Chain A
Amino acid sequence: MGTNDYPDPVDDLIAQRLSRLASRPVDTTRLDKKIRAGIPSADSRWRRVARPLTAVAAALIVLIAASALLFSSRPALASAADMIQMHRDMVSGRIATMKVDSIGEANKAIAAMVGNFPQLSEPPETHTMACCMRNVGNKQVACVLLNDGATPVTMTVARTQDVRTPSTAPITHDGQLYYVQSFDNLNMVMFNRRQHWICLIGALSPEKLMDLSSGFKFSPAP
Protein backbone atom coordinates (compact mmCIF):
# COMPACT_ATOMS: atom_id res chain seq x y z
CA MET A 1 0.00 0.00 0.00
CA GLY A 2 1.62 3.21 -1.12
CA THR A 3 1.26 6.65 0.39
CA ASN A 4 -0.95 7.64 -2.54
CA ASP A 5 -3.60 5.26 -1.24
CA TYR A 6 -4.16 7.60 1.70
CA PRO A 7 -4.95 11.12 0.58
CA ASP A 8 -5.62 12.03 4.20
CA PRO A 9 -2.22 12.25 5.98
CA VAL A 10 -3.65 11.13 9.34
CA ASP A 11 -5.16 8.11 7.61
CA ASP A 12 -1.70 7.42 6.22
CA LEU A 13 -0.15 7.64 9.70
CA ILE A 14 -2.71 5.16 11.06
CA ALA A 15 -1.97 2.80 8.17
CA GLN A 16 1.76 3.06 8.81
CA ARG A 17 1.26 2.35 12.52
CA LEU A 18 -0.86 -0.71 11.72
CA SER A 19 1.76 -2.07 9.31
CA ARG A 20 4.27 -2.20 12.18
CA LEU A 21 2.15 -4.87 13.85
CA ALA A 22 3.20 -7.32 11.13
CA SER A 23 6.75 -7.35 12.45
CA ARG A 24 5.69 -8.00 16.03
CA PRO A 25 7.50 -11.17 17.17
CA VAL A 26 5.44 -14.17 18.14
CA ASP A 27 6.60 -17.30 19.94
CA THR A 28 5.50 -20.35 17.96
CA THR A 29 7.28 -22.94 20.12
CA ARG A 30 4.15 -24.54 21.58
CA LEU A 31 2.29 -24.34 18.32
CA ASP A 32 5.23 -25.95 16.51
CA LYS A 33 5.19 -28.89 18.91
CA LYS A 34 1.48 -29.43 18.45
CA ILE A 35 1.66 -29.26 14.68
CA ARG A 36 4.72 -31.47 14.41
CA ALA A 37 2.99 -34.01 16.64
CA GLY A 38 0.08 -34.09 14.22
CA ILE A 39 2.08 -33.78 11.01
CA PRO A 40 5.52 -35.40 11.23
CA SER A 41 8.06 -33.67 9.01
CA ALA A 42 8.25 -34.98 5.49
CA ASP A 43 11.17 -37.28 4.77
CA SER A 44 13.04 -36.09 1.75
CA ARG A 45 14.74 -38.65 -0.44
CA TRP A 46 18.11 -37.46 0.79
CA ARG A 47 17.00 -37.82 4.40
CA ARG A 48 15.80 -41.36 3.77
CA VAL A 49 19.24 -42.21 2.35
CA ALA A 50 21.07 -40.19 4.96
CA ARG A 51 19.32 -41.66 7.97
CA PRO A 52 21.07 -45.08 7.89
CA LEU A 53 24.35 -43.38 7.00
CA THR A 54 23.94 -41.07 9.96
CA ALA A 55 23.28 -44.05 12.19
CA VAL A 56 26.44 -45.78 10.93
CA ALA A 57 28.48 -42.59 11.40
CA ALA A 58 27.13 -42.18 14.92
CA ALA A 59 27.97 -45.79 15.75
CA LEU A 60 31.50 -45.29 14.42
CA ILE A 61 31.96 -42.14 16.46
CA VAL A 62 30.79 -43.95 19.59
CA LEU A 63 33.14 -46.85 18.81
CA ILE A 64 36.10 -44.54 18.24
CA ALA A 65 35.34 -42.56 21.38
CA ALA A 66 35.00 -45.75 23.42
CA SER A 67 38.26 -47.10 21.99
CA ALA A 68 40.05 -43.84 22.72
CA LEU A 69 38.71 -43.89 26.25
CA LEU A 70 39.69 -47.53 26.67
CA PHE A 71 43.20 -47.06 25.31
CA SER A 72 43.80 -43.79 27.11
CA SER A 73 42.93 -45.42 30.41
CA ARG A 74 45.01 -48.52 29.77
CA PRO A 75 48.66 -48.47 30.83
CA ALA A 76 51.10 -48.10 27.98
CA LEU A 77 53.59 -50.90 27.36
CA ALA A 78 57.20 -49.86 27.96
CA SER A 79 58.85 -52.13 25.42
CA ALA A 80 62.54 -52.91 25.86
CA ALA A 81 63.31 -51.63 22.35
CA ASP A 82 61.58 -48.28 22.98
CA MET A 83 63.27 -47.77 26.32
CA ILE A 84 66.71 -48.63 24.95
CA GLN A 85 66.18 -46.24 22.04
CA MET A 86 65.14 -43.50 24.45
CA HIS A 87 68.30 -44.11 26.49
CA ARG A 88 70.53 -43.94 23.42
CA ASP A 89 68.83 -40.77 22.12
CA MET A 90 69.23 -39.07 25.45
CA VAL A 91 72.85 -40.05 25.95
CA SER A 92 73.80 -39.04 22.41
CA GLY A 93 71.94 -35.72 22.69
CA ARG A 94 69.55 -36.57 19.80
CA ILE A 95 66.60 -35.42 21.84
CA ALA A 96 66.19 -32.06 23.50
CA THR A 97 66.85 -32.13 27.20
CA MET A 98 67.15 -29.57 29.95
CA LYS A 99 70.47 -29.39 31.74
CA VAL A 100 70.10 -29.78 35.50
CA ASP A 101 72.52 -30.32 38.39
CA SER A 102 70.29 -32.15 40.81
CA ILE A 103 67.10 -34.13 41.06
CA GLY A 104 65.62 -31.13 42.85
CA GLU A 105 66.24 -29.01 39.76
CA ALA A 106 64.90 -31.80 37.57
CA ASN A 107 61.73 -31.97 39.67
CA LYS A 108 61.25 -28.21 39.29
CA ALA A 109 61.82 -28.37 35.53
CA ILE A 110 59.38 -31.26 35.15
CA ALA A 111 56.79 -29.53 37.31
CA ALA A 112 57.14 -26.46 35.06
CA MET A 113 56.61 -28.64 31.98
CA VAL A 114 53.73 -30.88 33.06
CA GLY A 115 52.58 -29.66 36.45
CA ASN A 116 51.46 -32.45 38.73
CA PHE A 117 53.96 -35.28 38.23
CA PRO A 118 55.50 -37.80 40.65
CA GLN A 119 58.56 -36.43 42.42
CA LEU A 120 61.79 -38.13 41.45
CA SER A 121 64.22 -39.49 43.99
CA GLU A 122 67.95 -38.94 43.61
CA PRO A 123 69.84 -42.18 43.36
CA PRO A 124 72.87 -42.21 45.62
CA GLU A 125 76.37 -41.91 44.17
CA THR A 126 75.25 -40.44 40.87
CA HIS A 127 75.22 -36.98 39.37
CA THR A 128 72.13 -35.62 37.65
CA MET A 129 72.92 -34.22 34.20
CA ALA A 130 69.74 -33.51 32.26
CA CYS A 131 66.02 -34.22 32.15
CA CYS A 132 63.14 -34.23 29.72
CA MET A 133 59.58 -35.45 29.28
CA ARG A 134 58.82 -38.18 26.74
CA ASN A 135 55.85 -40.27 25.74
CA VAL A 136 55.57 -44.02 26.09
CA GLY A 137 52.49 -44.93 24.15
CA ASN A 138 50.11 -42.11 25.08
CA LYS A 139 51.51 -41.69 28.60
CA GLN A 140 54.01 -39.13 29.78
CA VAL A 141 57.20 -40.27 31.44
CA ALA A 142 60.04 -38.24 32.97
CA CYS A 143 63.57 -39.11 31.83
CA VAL A 144 66.63 -38.15 33.78
CA LEU A 145 70.22 -38.61 32.64
CA LEU A 146 72.45 -39.64 35.52
CA ASN A 147 76.16 -40.25 35.60
CA ASP A 148 77.55 -43.01 37.67
CA GLY A 149 81.23 -42.08 37.56
CA ALA A 150 81.91 -42.39 33.84
CA THR A 151 78.86 -44.39 32.89
CA PRO A 152 75.67 -42.65 31.79
CA VAL A 153 72.49 -44.10 33.24
CA THR A 154 68.97 -43.04 32.35
CA MET A 155 66.17 -43.18 34.86
CA THR A 156 62.64 -43.11 33.49
CA VAL A 157 59.76 -42.53 35.92
CA ALA A 158 56.01 -42.73 35.48
CA ARG A 159 52.94 -43.46 37.55
CA THR A 160 52.47 -47.21 38.00
CA GLN A 161 48.96 -47.04 36.55
CA ASP A 162 50.28 -45.39 33.37
CA VAL A 163 52.99 -47.81 32.26
CA ARG A 164 53.22 -51.56 32.32
CA THR A 165 56.35 -53.67 32.22
CA PRO A 166 57.00 -56.22 29.45
CA SER A 167 56.02 -59.70 30.56
CA THR A 168 59.32 -61.16 31.64
CA ALA A 169 59.99 -63.29 34.67
CA PRO A 170 60.83 -61.10 37.67
CA ILE A 171 63.86 -61.63 39.81
CA THR A 172 64.21 -60.82 43.49
CA HIS A 173 67.04 -58.65 44.74
CA ASP A 174 67.25 -57.51 48.36
CA GLY A 175 63.65 -58.56 48.78
CA GLN A 176 62.40 -56.43 45.87
CA LEU A 177 61.01 -57.54 42.53
CA TYR A 178 62.80 -56.44 39.35
CA TYR A 179 62.26 -57.11 35.68
CA VAL A 180 65.62 -57.36 33.96
CA GLN A 181 66.41 -57.30 30.26
CA SER A 182 69.59 -56.92 28.26
CA PHE A 183 70.17 -55.38 24.88
CA ASP A 184 73.67 -55.41 23.37
CA ASN A 185 75.88 -53.97 26.13
CA LEU A 186 73.02 -52.26 27.88
CA ASN A 187 71.05 -53.61 30.81
CA MET A 188 67.67 -52.50 31.87
CA VAL A 189 65.87 -52.99 35.18
CA MET A 190 62.27 -52.07 35.76
CA PHE A 191 60.58 -51.98 39.14
CA ASN A 192 57.79 -50.32 41.10
CA ARG A 193 58.19 -48.19 44.22
CA ARG A 194 55.35 -46.46 46.05
CA GLN A 195 53.12 -45.99 42.98
CA HIS A 196 56.10 -45.08 40.78
CA TRP A 197 57.18 -47.13 37.81
CA ILE A 198 60.95 -46.82 37.32
CA CYS A 199 63.30 -48.01 34.61
CA LEU A 200 67.07 -47.76 34.88
CA ILE A 201 69.22 -48.36 31.80
CA GLY A 202 72.96 -48.21 31.45
CA ALA A 203 76.08 -50.14 30.54
CA LEU A 204 76.21 -51.46 34.06
CA SER A 205 75.49 -54.91 35.37
CA PRO A 206 71.89 -55.61 36.39
CA GLU A 207 73.13 -56.04 39.98
CA LYS A 208 74.73 -52.60 39.94
CA LEU A 209 71.54 -51.06 38.56
CA MET A 210 69.48 -52.83 41.22
CA ASP A 211 71.91 -51.62 43.88
CA LEU A 212 71.45 -48.07 42.62
CA SER A 213 67.70 -48.43 42.98
CA SER A 214 67.92 -49.50 46.59
CA GLY A 215 68.96 -45.97 47.54
CA PHE A 216 65.78 -44.42 46.07
CA LYS A 217 63.36 -42.81 48.46
CA PHE A 218 60.17 -42.01 46.57
CA SER A 219 57.29 -40.33 48.24
CA PRO A 220 53.82 -41.55 47.17
CA ALA A 221 52.85 -40.39 43.69
CA PRO A 222 50.15 -37.66 43.53
Chain B
Amino acid sequence: MASAYSDDFNSIKDLPVSPSGDHHQLSQSKVDTSPLCDYLPKPSLRRIDHFSRMALLSAGKAIKDTDPSLFSKDNTGVIIATGFGALQTTFSFLDSYIEKGDKLASPTHFSNSVHNAAAAHVSIGYGITGPNLTISQFDMSFISALVTAGVWLDTEKVKTVLLGTSDAFCDVLGYCIDKFSNIKKTVGYSFGEGAAFFLLTKKEGQSKYGSFEDISVGNYKKTGLDIPQNTLLVLSQSAINTCNDEFMTYLKNNKKAHYRNHLFSPTDSSMDVLFSTTLLKKVCYIKIGTGGEYGKMIITPNLKNQGFNSSG
Protein backbone atom coordinates (compact mmCIF):
# COMPACT_ATOMS: atom_id res chain seq x y z
CA MET B 1 0.00 0.00 0.00
CA ALA B 2 2.83 2.40 0.82
CA SER B 3 4.30 1.75 -2.59
CA ALA B 4 0.93 2.28 -4.25
CA TYR B 5 0.38 5.64 -2.60
CA SER B 6 3.95 6.73 -3.17
CA ASP B 7 3.06 6.80 -6.84
CA ASP B 8 0.69 9.66 -6.01
CA PHE B 9 -2.53 7.82 -6.72
CA ASN B 10 -5.53 9.08 -4.81
CA SER B 11 -7.45 5.87 -4.91
CA ILE B 12 -6.79 2.24 -5.63
CA LYS B 13 -9.28 2.65 -8.49
CA ASP B 14 -6.86 4.99 -10.26
CA LEU B 15 -4.09 2.41 -10.50
CA PRO B 16 -3.27 1.62 -14.11
CA VAL B 17 -3.00 -2.04 -14.95
CA SER B 18 -0.41 -1.50 -17.65
CA PRO B 19 1.87 1.36 -16.65
CA SER B 20 4.11 3.03 -19.21
CA GLY B 21 7.77 2.31 -19.59
CA ASP B 22 9.58 -0.84 -20.52
CA HIS B 23 7.37 -3.05 -18.38
CA HIS B 24 5.89 -6.07 -20.01
CA GLN B 25 2.29 -5.52 -20.96
CA LEU B 26 -0.16 -7.60 -19.06
CA SER B 27 -2.44 -9.40 -21.41
CA GLN B 28 -5.87 -10.19 -20.16
CA SER B 29 -8.61 -12.29 -21.58
CA LYS B 30 -11.93 -11.36 -20.02
CA VAL B 31 -14.42 -14.19 -20.23
CA ASP B 32 -17.67 -13.44 -22.07
CA THR B 33 -20.43 -14.92 -19.91
CA SER B 34 -23.36 -13.76 -22.08
CA PRO B 35 -24.02 -17.37 -23.26
CA LEU B 36 -25.07 -18.10 -19.68
CA CYS B 37 -28.58 -17.01 -20.67
CA ASP B 38 -28.76 -20.23 -22.73
CA TYR B 39 -28.46 -22.25 -19.53
CA LEU B 40 -30.29 -20.24 -16.88
CA PRO B 41 -33.14 -17.68 -16.90
CA LYS B 42 -31.81 -14.14 -17.15
CA PRO B 43 -33.73 -12.78 -14.12
CA SER B 44 -32.04 -15.37 -11.90
CA LEU B 45 -28.62 -13.99 -12.89
CA ARG B 46 -29.35 -10.45 -11.78
CA ARG B 47 -27.15 -10.22 -8.69
CA ILE B 48 -24.56 -12.80 -9.65
CA ASP B 49 -21.07 -11.42 -10.17
CA HIS B 50 -18.52 -12.24 -12.88
CA PHE B 51 -16.64 -14.79 -10.75
CA SER B 52 -19.78 -16.85 -10.15
CA ARG B 53 -21.05 -16.35 -13.70
CA MET B 54 -17.87 -17.93 -15.11
CA ALA B 55 -18.39 -20.92 -12.81
CA LEU B 56 -22.08 -21.18 -13.75
CA LEU B 57 -21.34 -21.08 -17.48
CA SER B 58 -18.57 -23.65 -17.25
CA ALA B 59 -20.64 -25.93 -15.01
CA GLY B 60 -23.58 -25.66 -17.39
CA LYS B 61 -21.39 -26.64 -20.33
CA ALA B 62 -19.98 -29.61 -18.42
CA ILE B 63 -23.47 -30.83 -17.53
CA LYS B 64 -24.66 -30.40 -21.11
CA ASP B 65 -21.58 -32.20 -22.42
CA THR B 66 -22.05 -35.27 -20.26
CA ASP B 67 -24.02 -38.46 -20.78
CA PRO B 68 -27.41 -37.70 -19.13
CA SER B 69 -27.52 -41.18 -17.59
CA LEU B 70 -24.46 -40.28 -15.52
CA PHE B 71 -25.82 -37.10 -14.01
CA SER B 72 -28.32 -37.23 -11.17
CA LYS B 73 -29.05 -33.95 -9.40
CA ASP B 74 -29.61 -35.52 -6.03
CA ASN B 75 -26.57 -37.79 -6.22
CA THR B 76 -23.99 -35.28 -7.43
CA GLY B 77 -21.62 -33.32 -5.22
CA VAL B 78 -20.28 -29.90 -6.12
CA ILE B 79 -16.70 -28.93 -5.35
CA ILE B 80 -15.20 -25.65 -6.51
CA ALA B 81 -11.55 -24.72 -6.21
CA THR B 82 -10.50 -21.10 -6.25
CA GLY B 83 -7.28 -19.36 -5.44
CA PHE B 84 -8.51 -15.81 -4.95
CA GLY B 85 -12.26 -16.18 -4.72
CA ALA B 86 -14.47 -13.36 -5.91
CA LEU B 87 -11.64 -10.88 -6.02
CA GLN B 88 -13.32 -7.94 -7.78
CA THR B 89 -16.44 -8.25 -5.63
CA THR B 90 -14.32 -8.43 -2.49
CA PHE B 91 -12.62 -5.17 -3.42
CA SER B 92 -15.97 -3.60 -4.34
CA PHE B 93 -17.29 -4.51 -0.92
CA LEU B 94 -14.18 -3.16 0.78
CA ASP B 95 -14.47 0.04 -1.27
CA SER B 96 -18.04 0.53 -0.04
CA TYR B 97 -16.91 -0.20 3.51
CA ILE B 98 -14.01 2.26 3.37
CA GLU B 99 -15.91 5.01 1.56
CA LYS B 100 -19.26 4.81 3.34
CA GLY B 101 -18.59 3.10 6.66
CA ASP B 102 -19.66 -0.25 8.05
CA LYS B 103 -23.38 0.58 8.25
CA LEU B 104 -23.57 1.48 4.56
CA ALA B 105 -21.36 -1.25 3.09
CA SER B 106 -23.18 -3.10 0.30
CA PRO B 107 -24.99 -6.27 1.47
CA THR B 108 -25.16 -7.56 -2.11
CA HIS B 109 -21.42 -7.24 -2.63
CA PHE B 110 -20.79 -8.92 0.70
CA SER B 111 -22.99 -11.92 -0.12
CA ASN B 112 -21.17 -12.41 -3.42
CA SER B 113 -17.70 -11.85 -1.96
CA VAL B 114 -17.52 -15.06 0.07
CA HIS B 115 -15.43 -17.75 -1.63
CA ASN B 116 -18.28 -20.29 -1.63
CA ALA B 117 -20.73 -18.02 -3.45
CA ALA B 118 -19.98 -19.63 -6.82
CA ALA B 119 -20.58 -23.15 -5.53
CA ALA B 120 -23.86 -22.04 -3.96
CA HIS B 121 -25.02 -20.49 -7.24
CA VAL B 122 -24.08 -23.66 -9.17
CA SER B 123 -26.09 -25.88 -6.82
CA ILE B 124 -29.07 -23.52 -6.73
CA GLY B 125 -29.01 -22.73 -10.45
CA TYR B 126 -28.83 -26.34 -11.63
CA GLY B 127 -30.91 -27.87 -8.82
CA ILE B 128 -28.09 -30.02 -7.44
CA THR B 129 -28.88 -31.17 -3.92
CA GLY B 130 -25.75 -33.19 -3.08
CA PRO B 131 -22.95 -31.98 -0.79
CA ASN B 132 -21.30 -28.67 -1.62
CA LEU B 133 -17.74 -27.61 -0.86
CA THR B 134 -15.35 -24.81 -1.78
CA ILE B 135 -11.60 -25.20 -1.40
CA SER B 136 -9.10 -22.38 -1.48
CA GLN B 137 -5.45 -23.32 -1.15
CA PHE B 138 -3.91 -20.99 -3.72
CA ASP B 139 -1.67 -23.02 -6.08
CA MET B 140 -2.85 -26.31 -4.58
CA SER B 141 -6.56 -25.50 -4.74
CA PHE B 142 -7.45 -27.74 -7.68
CA ILE B 143 -5.37 -30.72 -6.57
CA SER B 144 -6.89 -30.52 -3.08
CA ALA B 145 -10.35 -30.39 -4.59
CA LEU B 146 -9.54 -33.34 -6.82
CA VAL B 147 -8.32 -35.39 -3.84
CA THR B 148 -11.54 -34.58 -2.00
CA ALA B 149 -13.62 -35.54 -5.05
CA GLY B 150 -11.80 -38.87 -5.12
CA VAL B 151 -12.62 -39.46 -1.48
CA TRP B 152 -16.31 -38.66 -2.06
CA LEU B 153 -16.45 -41.12 -4.97
CA ASP B 154 -14.44 -43.84 -3.21
CA THR B 155 -16.65 -43.68 -0.12
CA GLU B 156 -19.78 -43.54 -2.34
CA LYS B 157 -20.85 -40.33 -0.69
CA VAL B 158 -22.11 -39.39 -4.16
CA LYS B 159 -22.16 -41.09 -7.57
CA THR B 160 -20.72 -38.12 -9.47
CA VAL B 161 -18.83 -34.97 -8.58
CA LEU B 162 -19.15 -31.72 -10.49
CA LEU B 163 -15.63 -30.43 -9.90
CA GLY B 164 -14.54 -27.05 -11.13
CA THR B 165 -12.36 -24.01 -10.74
CA SER B 166 -12.95 -20.33 -11.12
CA ASP B 167 -10.57 -17.42 -10.78
CA ALA B 168 -11.15 -13.91 -12.04
CA PHE B 169 -8.79 -11.14 -13.05
CA CYS B 170 -9.24 -7.64 -11.71
CA ASP B 171 -7.40 -4.33 -11.89
CA VAL B 172 -5.93 -4.57 -8.40
CA LEU B 173 -4.51 -8.00 -9.18
CA GLY B 174 -3.03 -6.64 -12.39
CA TYR B 175 -1.44 -3.79 -10.51
CA CYS B 176 0.06 -6.14 -7.91
CA ILE B 177 1.38 -8.49 -10.60
CA ASP B 178 3.02 -5.59 -12.37
CA LYS B 179 4.48 -4.00 -9.27
CA PHE B 180 5.46 -6.92 -7.07
CA SER B 181 5.79 -10.09 -9.13
CA ASN B 182 8.52 -11.37 -11.41
CA ILE B 183 6.08 -13.73 -13.11
CA LYS B 184 5.37 -11.37 -15.99
CA LYS B 185 9.01 -11.53 -17.01
CA THR B 186 8.89 -15.32 -17.30
CA VAL B 187 8.42 -16.59 -20.81
CA GLY B 188 5.28 -18.60 -21.24
CA TYR B 189 2.93 -16.86 -18.88
CA SER B 190 -0.08 -14.88 -19.89
CA PHE B 191 -2.50 -13.32 -17.46
CA GLY B 192 -6.18 -13.90 -17.56
CA GLU B 193 -9.12 -15.58 -15.91
CA GLY B 194 -11.39 -18.51 -16.45
CA ALA B 195 -13.30 -21.47 -15.16
CA ALA B 196 -13.15 -25.15 -16.01
CA PHE B 197 -15.50 -27.89 -14.86
CA PHE B 198 -15.47 -31.67 -14.99
CA LEU B 199 -18.10 -34.25 -14.16
CA LEU B 200 -16.26 -37.05 -12.40
CA THR B 201 -17.50 -40.57 -11.94
CA LYS B 202 -16.04 -43.91 -10.89
CA LYS B 203 -17.92 -45.81 -13.58
CA GLU B 204 -15.51 -47.78 -15.77
CA GLY B 205 -15.49 -46.97 -19.48
CA GLN B 206 -17.64 -43.88 -19.11
CA SER B 207 -14.97 -41.22 -19.52
CA LYS B 208 -15.42 -38.93 -22.47
CA TYR B 209 -12.06 -37.15 -22.35
CA GLY B 210 -9.87 -39.25 -20.08
CA SER B 211 -9.37 -40.59 -16.61
CA PHE B 212 -7.21 -40.04 -13.57
CA GLU B 213 -5.20 -43.15 -12.79
CA ASP B 214 -3.52 -41.70 -9.77
CA ILE B 215 -3.74 -38.52 -7.75
CA SER B 216 -1.22 -37.76 -5.05
CA VAL B 217 0.19 -34.91 -3.01
CA GLY B 218 3.44 -34.60 -1.17
CA ASN B 219 6.62 -32.61 -0.70
CA TYR B 220 9.41 -33.48 -3.11
CA LYS B 221 12.04 -31.89 -0.84
CA LYS B 222 11.23 -34.39 1.87
CA THR B 223 10.22 -37.55 0.05
CA GLY B 224 11.39 -37.06 -3.54
CA LEU B 225 9.07 -37.40 -6.50
CA ASP B 226 8.36 -40.49 -8.56
CA ILE B 227 7.67 -39.72 -12.22
CA PRO B 228 6.56 -42.84 -14.16
CA GLN B 229 8.78 -43.62 -17.14
CA ASN B 230 6.03 -44.21 -19.70
CA THR B 231 4.38 -40.81 -19.26
CA LEU B 232 4.67 -37.39 -20.83
CA LEU B 233 5.63 -34.90 -18.16
CA VAL B 234 3.61 -31.70 -18.08
CA LEU B 235 4.47 -29.06 -15.54
CA SER B 236 2.51 -26.21 -14.12
CA GLN B 237 4.86 -23.91 -12.37
CA SER B 238 4.39 -22.16 -9.13
CA ALA B 239 3.57 -18.48 -9.06
CA ILE B 240 6.88 -17.95 -7.27
CA ASN B 241 10.07 -18.11 -9.29
CA THR B 242 12.30 -19.50 -6.53
CA CYS B 243 10.09 -22.61 -6.36
CA ASN B 244 10.50 -23.08 -10.08
CA ASP B 245 14.29 -22.69 -9.98
CA GLU B 246 14.59 -25.21 -7.16
CA PHE B 247 12.29 -27.65 -8.88
CA MET B 248 14.15 -27.39 -12.17
CA THR B 249 17.36 -28.22 -10.34
CA TYR B 250 15.65 -31.27 -8.88
CA LEU B 251 14.43 -32.38 -12.29
CA LYS B 252 17.60 -31.74 -14.27
CA ASN B 253 18.54 -35.40 -14.41
CA ASN B 254 14.98 -36.48 -15.18
CA LYS B 255 13.11 -36.69 -18.41
CA LYS B 256 12.44 -33.76 -20.62
CA ALA B 257 9.58 -31.61 -19.39
CA HIS B 258 6.92 -29.96 -21.52
CA TYR B 259 5.96 -26.50 -20.37
CA ARG B 260 2.64 -25.25 -21.44
CA ASN B 261 1.81 -21.61 -21.91
CA HIS B 262 -1.07 -21.13 -19.57
CA LEU B 263 -3.09 -18.49 -17.88
CA PHE B 264 -1.61 -17.22 -14.67
CA SER B 265 -4.10 -18.04 -12.04
CA PRO B 266 -3.91 -20.25 -8.96
CA THR B 267 -6.34 -22.66 -10.58
CA ASP B 268 -4.76 -22.97 -14.01
CA SER B 269 -4.27 -26.69 -13.23
CA SER B 270 -7.83 -27.45 -14.24
CA MET B 271 -7.25 -26.06 -17.73
CA ASP B 272 -3.94 -27.88 -17.94
CA VAL B 273 -5.76 -31.13 -17.12
CA LEU B 274 -8.14 -30.61 -20.02
CA PHE B 275 -5.17 -29.80 -22.25
CA SER B 276 -3.46 -33.01 -21.10
CA THR B 277 -6.34 -35.12 -22.43
CA THR B 278 -5.51 -33.87 -25.94
CA LEU B 279 -1.88 -35.05 -25.86
CA LEU B 280 -2.69 -38.60 -27.04
CA LYS B 281 -0.40 -40.13 -24.46
CA LYS B 282 -0.52 -40.86 -20.76
CA VAL B 283 0.48 -37.70 -18.91
CA CYS B 284 2.15 -37.17 -15.57
CA TYR B 285 0.96 -33.69 -14.62
CA ILE B 286 2.68 -31.93 -11.75
CA LYS B 287 1.74 -28.71 -10.06
CA ILE B 288 4.28 -27.37 -7.63
CA GLY B 289 3.64 -24.92 -4.87
CA THR B 290 5.64 -23.08 -2.32
CA GLY B 291 8.01 -24.93 -0.01
CA GLY B 292 8.30 -28.03 -2.17
CA GLU B 293 4.70 -29.20 -2.06
CA TYR B 294 3.38 -30.83 -5.20
CA GLY B 295 0.25 -32.29 -6.63
CA LYS B 296 0.67 -35.11 -9.14
CA MET B 297 -1.89 -36.66 -11.47
CA ILE B 298 -1.52 -39.46 -13.95
CA ILE B 299 -4.00 -38.72 -16.73
CA THR B 300 -4.94 -41.24 -19.40
CA PRO B 301 -6.64 -39.63 -22.39
CA ASN B 302 -9.59 -41.35 -24.07
CA LEU B 303 -7.95 -42.00 -27.45
CA LYS B 304 -11.06 -43.59 -28.99
CA ASN B 305 -12.99 -40.42 -28.34
CA GLN B 306 -10.33 -38.48 -30.20
CA GLY B 307 -10.41 -40.69 -33.30
CA PHE B 308 -7.47 -42.99 -32.52
CA ASN B 309 -7.66 -46.69 -31.73
CA SER B 310 -6.34 -47.62 -28.35
CA SER B 311 -3.21 -49.28 -29.66
CA GLY B 312 -2.25 -46.32 -31.88
User: Are A and B bound to each other?
Assistant: no
